[in-house]
Amino acid sequence: MSDIKALAFSGSTRKDSWNGKLINEVAHLAEEKGITVTRLHLNDYPLPIYNGDLEERDGLPTTAIELQNLFNAHNILLIATPEYNGFFPALLKNTLDWTSRPTDTQGASASFTGKPVGLFAASPGRLGGIRALGHLRSQMADLGAIVSGTGVSVGEAHNAFDANGKLTSEPLIDMIDSQLAALMTQTA
């Protein structure tokens, strides 16, 4: 058992989300490597769309502070993103925008600076959300995170899981495993 703690979440809160299934599988594979995984559901942390006036008036929403604390308490972030019109979704952007804001106790982007992040994407399309993955990679790097590899995308996601939500492609599982192994070497 390692003392590495990973926070795993999906940029889709849809009930039958492919990215939800994918991040569950990533979390399961991480646990098999001895990583302690917390599965975060963004539905549990609702945030208004970022607005500077709102922040000036009320400060950060409690949920944003709670998310910052959660990010801070983990050595690795594991994120699965859907692709909406070639980009990662507004939910993810809004979550990153609020949680990158400085507070009395930490500077801007401090929850991400130097933190190893593994990125994943799933889509019913053949490209598997690879464009969203690229944009998210650039976003996370901009926040100071250490983005491991190029990420893993799952195309034709509707054919990728069995009835129990398990990934059926061994090469894909191997790619996720390699990504996780690389992430483990990046934790201090």
Note the residues at the interface with ligand FMN (CB under 6 A).
12, 14, 17-19, 82-86, 123-125, 129
**Residue closer to ligand FMN, measured from CB, 51 or 85:** 85
Length of the chain: 188
Distance CA 173, CA 180 (A): 11
**Residue closer to ligand FMN, measured from CB, 21 or 74:** 21
Q: Which of 117, 106, 119, 111 is nearest to 187 (CA)?
A: 117
- In angstroms, what is the minimal distance from the CB of 173 to ligand FMN? 19
> Residue holding tokens 């593994």?
118
Tokens of 139: 């976003």
**Residue closer to ligand FMN, measured from CB, 60 or 77:** 77
**Residue closer to ligand FMN, measured from CB, 4 or 121:** 121
Q: Is the dihedral of CA 27, 74, 187, 100 positive or negative?
A: positive
Distance CA 89, CA 84 (A): 6
- In angstroms, what is the minimal distance from the CB of 23 to ligand FMN? 9
**Residue closer to ligand FMN, measured from CB, 144 or 155:** 155
Whether the Cβ atoms of residue 114 and residue 71 lie closer than 8 Å to each other:
no
Tokens of 9: 């979440």
- In angstroms, what is the minimal distance from the CB of 121 to ligand FMN? 9
- In angstroms, what is the minimal distance from the CB of 20 to ligand FMN? 6
- In angstroms, what is the minimal distance from the CB of 125 to ligand FMN? 3
Whether the Cβ atoms of residue 111 and residue 99 lie closer than 8 Å to each other:
yes
